[in-house]
Structure 1
Amino acid sequence: MSPWLQHLPVLPIVVPLVTGAVLLLFAESQRRLRESIALLATLAQLVIGATLLYLTTDAVPEIWHKGIGVYSISAWPAPYGIVLIVDRLSALMLTLAAALALPALTYSIARWERVGVHYLPLLQFLLMGLNGAFLTGDLFNLFVFFEVLLAASYGLILHGSGAARVKAGLHYIAVNLVASLLFLIGVALIYGVAGTLNMAELGIRWSTIAAEDRGLFDAGVAILGLAFLIKAGSWPLNFWLAPAYVAAGAPVAAMFSIMTKVGIYAVLRMSVLLGDAAAPAPLGGAWLFYGGIATMAFGIIGMLGAQQLGRLIAFAVIVSSGTLLASVGSGVESLTAPALFYMVSSVLATGAFFMLTGMTERTRTTQVSEVADVAPLPPVTYQAFGADEPEPRAHDEEVGIAIPAVMAFLGLAFVCCVLLVTGLPPLSGFIGKFALLASTVDAMNEQRAPASAWLLIATLLAAGLAGLIALTRIGVRLFWTVTERTTPRLRVIEAGPVAFLLLLTMGMTVAAGPVMTFLESAAGTLHNPDMYIEAVLSPQPPATAEARP
């Protein structure tokens, strides 16, 4: 194996770490240089993620055994050393994170990067935490990378000013600090009983734990699962999510749309290694399924009650989390691939929708604070950081004027996002939901799914209907009312990122067959934990950042 391929798995962590540190060395006034460095680094992460994704496929079987790459830090093999594992699922998440981060960063350059300090380094550190969480092979380092991404998200959610942003940000910080404490307690209990935190070795040891120690181990898993579910936005632990996402800036909220999926990724990974339905609660049994259904119901109610577009999208993120949790908790392996397809489409769609919201807010003269609990950036913020203040909004009383190109773009993008979020044809959101429904029905016909799976079908259909009703109501208010509306001035670096994400979903629609085939292979690898365990614990050829003396 060539040296650059040998060390490729560690680059998604090293690149954003070094980039964030380098950006801190430049003054905020050196905007062009800092933005160029950040853009190149994020583009490099996308290329690295796509390369890792390719290397896990069957097209290159000679690179990694069965498509799973193991990178041992300092040549210390698992379970004694720190290992990074690249399989189809982790490579997919790496690529998805970078594909979302690149347009979000580009969008930020238009205005948001200039209304606070250290925005660009924080975004790189957020990516470092995300990438590390997807790659790590042990629970302690999962905790470390969770803390890295959360620390960066604390700064990003408070980026700017305003009482509503600070209030929601402090709630977000407090809840996640509690979740981190639970995470650490759960990890400590698991290590005290099992004697290891390597996830592959836990997959072997958990079934051999003595009966007198099993209660303590199950308690540790329960506490750990609770921390995962808080981060995944599961009901009733998600009261913080909607206010935080609404208060955050548009590109920050777009990046946050993947953060709940980190918790779901951890739940999925651990539940499979611990035996799916046999895993201790809440990672196994009916806990995940009914928790996911309750999360979807909560999101549906929130969407119907939302009066602001950003808040509605935040509840759509909750619905997507509930859908994934219910799919994982159903215990039907055939639902995993459709759920992954739905997840990718949902992340791209909500990311584009959040950034679109940042532009549609400028079409109305009525301040957002009149209809929601958060206001846009006040003028003093733009003056303090040298950013351009939005153009004055003038009333236009003329009826029947021609639709400007900007409004046409916003309207078309809005319609595409509605189709994606609600799961209506012809875009990828429909394919993901239809695949979930079809797989559920097939599993019930073959008696591989319990009768309660009908509840998943009914809730999925209800979520689509509720989203359509709520988004239609807001769309009418945004685009079909003439009073109190003005045509905003958009820059290419604002419209381009939204178009890029929508084009990605269209590409998923056109290439749905190959994409689903890959996701089915990823699901097959995931649900074969013996393959993962063998790849991690078997002797590996040296693939290290530094040779051990």
Structure 2
Amino acid sequence: MQLSMAHLIVLPVLLPLAFAALLAGLGERRRRAKAALSLLSCVLMLATAIALLLWVDRAATPGAFGVYLPGNWSVPFGIVLVVDRLSALMLVLSATAGLATLLFSLARWHRAGVHFHPLLQMQLMGLNGAFLTADLFNLFVFFEVLLAASYGLLLHGGGGPRVRAGLHYIAVNLFASLLFLVGVALLYGVTGTLNMADVAAKLSAVPASDRGLLHAAAALLGVAFLTKAAVWPLNFWLVPAYAAASTPVSALFAILTKVGAYAVLRLWTLCFPASAGASALFGGHVLVWAGLATLAFGAVGMMASQRLARLAGYSIIASSGTLVAATGFDDPALTAGALFYLASATLAAGAMFLLVELMDRARALEVDLPSAVVTDVRLPAFAETDRHADANLDDDQTVLIGRAIPAAVAFLGLAFMLATLVLAGLPPLSGFVAKVAMLDALLELPSGAGPYGGRGALFALQILSGLLAAIALSRIGMRLFWSPEDQSATRLRVAETAPVALLLGTCVALVVAAEPALRYMRDTADALHDPQQYIRTVLSARPLPYPSQVKP
């Protein structure tokens, strides 16, 4: 790989870090300058992420990797950043969610508290670092960076509900971080290394006497990651926290939960593949059934929700359960479909969170007109001849023909419909393509695949969860859009509609480019389920010679 392109790997970490430091030094009075700089950072991050994705996708083999040694130390002693198809995909999702969050906040939310822009940049830095790092200790560091920033963002805007939800959120994540640290310490004691590729290479040499300690370390790490991925029963904190957060922060948190699911997918396929001997597929049945329970819990929660914000939170739980359950089957075709679903569900959930505020605002503008006003409505001349005809009349006997739908209402209705189609997995959008890919992969599996009939359970839950999601979203949509009350005209700003259009437009683009997108996901899954390519590439990376060592 070209050295100039390899330097791009570190930019998703350096860009938000540098801009966060700059924004923190500007103070709160220069809001326009801070907004402009923050927007520049997000645009550059998205451009860098897309460039990295195209770079690794051009490789002729599924295992396309770029390795960067920031300290120029030999592997496994120094920090290592690795970009492959999976991490590049997550970088694009993170940058897209970050840009949408920032655009929406520029309407008003970035003025609701202090240090919004530096916190947003640090959040993106932690996300990008977690997706790029190739060693467990730095994964812990980036986890703590993104969590520290998320604590401030969750409390942004103040208020009792945010403080109460924030305390639960902080307590649960601190406990998960403690488990993470203990698991890392145990793993280091067994293997003597924390580099992911080096750990995977040394697992086969772990003596039988230490195998139990190895599995205990993996179990602790798994609990920490699954807690952050909101897997049942460790997900009681998510819905209250996400529903209480400000609108743009909730949209950004749609990608936050996927960090735990990403860590599970990355480490489980790397360290416990079918070729791992005595530790082969360790904990796979736990992933399958924990994912199935999470998917069922999310689907039932969506059906029981009466508020759109809580429903969107449960949809995130359902998507995490789908990805975790699919991971446990250790099937590349199923993993590919789950990755396509991950991208679609994350974008649609982010858009749904943004729509919550816009739709609540439209609902709050409803007015009950007095009956005298209603009876004084002048009908068109053609309607005066047949005042008692009930065709094309609303509940107030007002003619519907020729009545224009306000542009804001039309936008909200269309956006809500598109997000509903994606989250419910209905045709013709990307959620449907993802579910068909997963169902097709499940049908190709042997009848006994999955622990204790997990194959049939996942197949049935995929269909049932989509049905429940469609019913729940349709019910809320009818209440919000088909209510008979007259409404005042709703005004939407470009800064509020553009991020929704960005997220849902990306879902539409996934359908238009479904074939290359599915091919990309298949190549990503093939590389994940063949970890030897990752191990060889990382361990073979060599530091560059210092200028004094280069011969003239």
What is the TM-score when the length of structure 1 is the normalising length? 0.90
Greater Rg, structure 1 or structure 2?
Answer: 2
- The 2-side partners of 1:218 and 1:98 are apart by 35
Work out the CA distance in 1 between the residues paired with 2:549 and 2:289. 48
Match of 2:405 among 400, 403, 406: 403
Q: Secondary structure at the match of 2:537?
A: helix
Distance 1:548 1:27 in 2: 45
- C-alpha distance in 2 between matches for 1:75 and 1:314: 42
**Which residue of structure 2 lines up, in the alignment, with residue 265 of structure 1?**
262
- Provide the residue aligned with 1:351 in structure 2: 350
Structure 2 counterpart of 1:285: 284
1:150 aligns with 2:147: yes
What is the CA–CA distance in structure 2 between the aligned matches of 1:444 and 1:486, rounded to whole Å? 57
- Find the partner of 2:232 among 231, 235, 251: 235
Give the partner amino acid of 1:466: L
- Per the alignment, residue 302 of structure 2 pairs with 303
* Alignment-derived partner of residue 191 in structure 1: 188
Residue 468 of structure 1 corresponds to which residue in structure 2? Answer: 470
**Contact residue 440 and residue 449 of structure 1 kept, 8 A:** no
SS in 1 for 2:71: helix
User: For the residues of structure 2 that align with 1:35 and 1:547, how far apart are their CA atoms?
Assistant: 44
Give 1:531's match in structure 2, choosing from 530, 533, 547: 533
Alpha-carbon contact 1:130-1:149 (below 8 Å) kept = yes
Amino acid at match of 1:14: L
The SS at the match of 1:137 is coil
Distance in 2 between residues matched to 1:448 and 1:290, nearest whole Å: 13
Quote the residue 1:498 is aligned against.
500
Residues in 1 aligned to 2:180 and 2:281: alpha-carbon distance in whole angstroms: 14
Cα distance in 2 for partners of 1:317, 1:498 equals: 17
2:336 counterpart letter in structure 1: A
Distance in 1 (CA, whole Å) between partners of 2:444 and 2:304 is 34
Secondary structure at the aligned position of 1:286 is classed as helix
Aligned-pair distance for 1:153? 0.3
Indicate whether 1:118 and 2:115 are aligned: yes
Which residue is 2:383 aligned to? none
Q: What is the identity, as a one-letter code, of the residue corresponding to 1:242?
A: V
Structure 2 equivalent of residue 368 of structure 1: none
Provide the alpha-carbon RMSD of the alignment.
2.2
Change (3 A) 1:547 1:276: farther
Opposite residue 44 of structure 2, the aligned amino acid is: A
CA gap 1:319/1:364 in 2 versus in 1, 3 angstroms: same
Q: Measure the CA separation in 2 of the matches of 1:311 and 1:458.
A: 24
Counterpart CA distance in 2 for 1:283 and 1:49 is 33
Partner residue, 2:33: 33
Partner of 2:129: 132
Q: 1:461 is aligned with what amino acid?
A: I
Letter in 2 for 1:299: G
Paired residues of 1:75 and 1:548 also in contact (CA < 8 A): no
Aligned residue identity for 2:323: L
Greater displacement, 68-77 / 529-538: 68-77
- Cα 1:317/1:45, change in 2 over 3 Å: same
* 1:36-88: CA deviation from partner (whole Å, max 9, x where unpaired): 10001100000110111111123588xxx952111112211211111001111
Normalised by the length of structure 2, the TM-score is 0.90
1:429 aligned partner: 431
Q: What is the identity, as a one-letter code, of the residue corresponding to 1:316? A: S
Partner of 1:247: 244
Q: Is the 8 A contact 2:273 2:280 kept in 1?
A: no
Shift of 1:340: 0.5
Query: Aligned AA for 1:236?
Result: P
Deviation at residue 393 of structure 1 after TM alignment:
6.3
Alignment of 1:17 onto 2:42: no
How far apart in 2 are the matches of 1:471 and 1:432?
19
- Structure 1 residue aligned with 2:168, among 167, 171, 175? 171
Partner-residue secondary structure (3-state), 1:350: helix
Counterpart AA for 2:443? V
Q: 1:547 to 1:41 in 2, by over 3 A?
A: farther
Q: CA deviation at 1:10?
A: 0.6
CA gap of 1:194–1:499, structure 2 versus 1, over 3 A, is same
Structure 1 residues 467 and 547 mapped into 2: Cα distance closer, same or farther (>3 Å)?
A: farther
> 2:67, 2:541 within 8 Å by CA — same for their partners in 1?
no
State the distance in 2 between where 1:188 and 1:541 align. Answer: 27
Cα deviation for residue 265 of structure 1 reads: 0.7
SS in 2 for 1:425: coil
1:343 positional shift: 0.4
Equivalent residue letter for 2:437: A
> Do 2:80 and 2:135's aligned partners in 1 also have CA atoms closer than 8 Å?
yes
Q: How far, CA to CA, are the matches of 1:213 and 1:409 in structure 2?
A: 60
1:438 and 1:243 map into 2 onto residues whose CA distance is: 35
Tell whether the 8 Å contact from 1:74 to 1:547 is kept in structure 2 after alignment: no
Deviation of 1:284 (Å): 2.7
Alpha-carbon spacing, 1:228–1:404, altered in 2? closer, same or farther (3 Å): same
For the pair 1:47 / 2:44, whether they are aligned, the reply is no
- SS at 2:82's partner residue? strand
State the Cα distance separating 1:106 from its structure 2 match. 0.4
Deviations 1:433-483 (A, max 9, x none): 1111111111236x7656430100111111111111111111111111133
Q: 1:283 to 1:360 in 2, by over 3 A?
A: farther
What is the CA deviation profile of residues 487-506 of structure 1, one whole-angstrom value per residue up to 9, with x for unaligned ones?
A: 42210110111011111111
* Identity across matched positions, percent: 51
- What secondary structure, in the 3-state scheme, does the structure 2 residue paired with 1:257 have? helix
Q: Which runs of 5+ in 1 are unaligned?
A: 366-391
Provide the aligned length of Structure 1 versus Structure 2: 518
1:15/1:147 Cα in 2 relative to 1: closer, same or farther (>3 Å)? Answer: same
Cα distance in 2 for partners of 1:357, 1:133 equals 29
> Paired residue for 1:331?
330
Give the Cα separation in 2 of the matches to 1:476 and 1:283: 46
